[in-house]
Amino acid sequence: MKIGIIGSGYVGLVAAACFAEMGNHVVCVDIDKNKITQLKKGIVPIYEPGLETLVKENFQKGTLNFTSDIAEALSIVEVIFIAVGTPMGDDGSADLKYVLQVAQSIGENMTKHLVVVDKSTVPVGTADLVTQTIQHALDLRKSDLTFAVVSNPEFLKEGTAIKDFMHPDRVVVGADNDDAMSLMRNLYAPFTLSNDRFIGMDVRSAEMTKYAANAMLATKISFINEIANICEKVGADVNHVRTGIGSDKRIGYQFIYPGCGYGGSCFPKDVQALINIANNHGYNPVLISSVESVNKAQKEVLFSKLTSQLGTNLKGKKIAVWGLSFKPETDDMREAPSLNLIKSIISAGGKVNAYDPKAIHEAKFYLKGIEVNYLEDKYSALEGVDALILVTEWKEFRSPDFELIKDKMKGNIFIDGRNQFKSEFIISKGFEYLQIGVKA
């Protein structure tokens, strides 16, 4: 099939590379000319395991191409995906300006019948808006070209995006047009060969499915974080409680790890957008609003553990932060809990030594104007620090050299935002060890 993908970010680029890998001809469009120039040189501007190889191989084969000219892409494709960002607007709603700009360009430049696929995460009713925008542009051209808009929300996870796209748990497609639904079934058939995981539905239900999925996952995280906070108060250990409840198959072990709050490009904005959608329809989503409030508070937990040890005035104190990205295996810093922590330490007069295996470049952008000492390896970040805080659980932090850590650090406070270690073990090494959901 000849496919166009508009937006070459975490979702668009992965989808493009995976569709190309399956033998389709894919053209990736981005408004960012610098990104397109880099991609044409084989430079992938984001870190996602396996992506660079897939992009390079398919570009060399000629099955994957890049352009910043949407008209050029529209002249060759039969299906076009919209995979641009839908950031949080000032009122918490999903900002649709990029999606609607793309819809406008499609209407202005299409030259034949098209299936237009909303892959961006968008509020219920957006497919109707996209349809109206394209139709309006066609009317102005006095064109009688036809098109169908379908919804195909994306469920990939940064860090395992290629695997998720190649072997999806499910492919959700909402279409009110039989031909468009059938085209989507054919397009995804190679990805669900072992058993059919294609779930067809109406457009609005597909749009809602994405928000419901993210709200459910965010709820699990806020739930366990709230349980963790209660555990600390009552002297229970959330590490035991987690395994105690996860063993119940109805609950399961996934997504019940206590931590310092969810971040990333999806959960915070999608939970907020769902609250906004509900409010706009006269419904007060009490549970989902609480999920968001619990998460906001949880992002402050590491800082309050730090001040419980060092006091609220951190003048003269130096703190090492291990892990900056919002989760491991990505360089994505959007809404990362490390940002809250670092800003709080600096505001309290402290200094920060920061290390991350992949996200330092992005962190510098998100912490512009804030003085942070970025280090090239995890041990040099520890030189003379009063405390070490582990924020993101990259694999390289799982079995560090504790003797070396102690030698480098001035103090002995180790705050673990991911409960990676057994308390007794770390305490036996001479650390003051603080975890989430365990009384210090």
Ligand X SMILES: NC(=O)c1ccc[n+]([C@@H]2O[C@H](COP(=O)([O-])OP(=O)(O)OC[C@H]3O[C@@H](n4cnc5c(N)ncnc54)[C@H](O)[C@@H]3O)[C@@H](O)[C@H]2O)c1
Q: For binding to ligand X (CB under 6 A), which residues are involved?
A: 6-12, 29-32, 35, 83-86, 98, 101-102, 120-121, 154, 156, 158, 265-266
In whole angstroms, give the CA distance from residue 120 to residue 420: 34
Bridge partner residues of 321 (DSSP): 354, 389
Closest approach, Cβ 343 to ligand X, in A, equals 22
- Judged by beta carbon, residue 18 or residue 266, the one nearer ligand X is 266
**Whose CA is closest to 402, among 417, 421, 386, 384?**
421
Buried b (16+ CB within 10 A) or exposed e, 82-106: bbbbbebeeebbbbbebbbebbebb
In whole angstroms, give the CA distance from residue 156 to residue 11: 8
> Which residue is catalytic, options 18, 28, 231, 266?
266
- Judged by beta carbon, residue 263 or residue 357, the one nearer ligand X is 263
Closest approach, Cβ 64 to ligand X, in A, equals 16
End-to-end CA distance of the chain: 59
**Whose CA is closest to 93, among 129, 140, 53?**
129
**Whose CA is closest to 141, among 108, 111, 166?**
108
- The structure tokens listed for 357 are 């295996």
Closest approach, Cβ 215 to ligand X, in A, equals 13
Element (H, E) at 341: helix 337-347
- Judged by beta carbon, residue 248 or residue 365, the one nearer ligand X is 365
- The structure tokens listed for 7 are 């937006």
In whole angstroms, give the CA distance from residue 354 to residue 379: 11
Q: SS3 of 66, please?
A: strand
- Judged by beta carbon, residue 156 or residue 372, the one nearer ligand X is 156
Closest approach, Cβ 131 to ligand X, in A, equals 18
- Judged by beta carbon, residue 92 or residue 411, the one nearer ligand X is 92
Closest approach, Cβ 15 to ligand X, in A, equals 9
Closest approach, Cβ 49 to ligand X, in A, equals 13
- Judged by beta carbon, residue 35 or residue 351, the one nearer ligand X is 35
Q: Taking each helix axis from N to C terminus, what angle separates 203-234 and 126-140, rounded to the nearest 10 degrees?
A: 140
- Judged by beta carbon, residue 24 or residue 152, the one nearer ligand X is 152
Name the residue number minimizing CB distance to ligand X.
9
**Whose CA is closest to 414, among 393, 385, 373, 371?**
385
Main-chain dihedrals φ then ψ at residue 161, nearest 5 degrees = -65, -40
- Judged by beta carbon, residue 154 or residue 226, the one nearer ligand X is 154
Closest approach, Cβ 161 to ligand X, in A, equals 7
**Whose CA is closest to 352, among 364, 365, 362?**
364
Can 28 be counted among the known catalytic residues?
A: no
Q: What angle do CA 185, 190, 195 make, to 5 degrees?
A: 80
Contact predicate 352/389, CB 8 Å: no
Plot region of 430 (φ>0 → left; ψ -120 to 50 → alpha; else → beta): left
| Close Cβ partners of 89 (under 8 Å, ≥ 6 residues apart) | 95
Owner of token pair 């897939």 = 54
Closest approach, Cβ 104 to ligand X, in A, equals 9
- By annotation, the residues acting in catalysis are 266
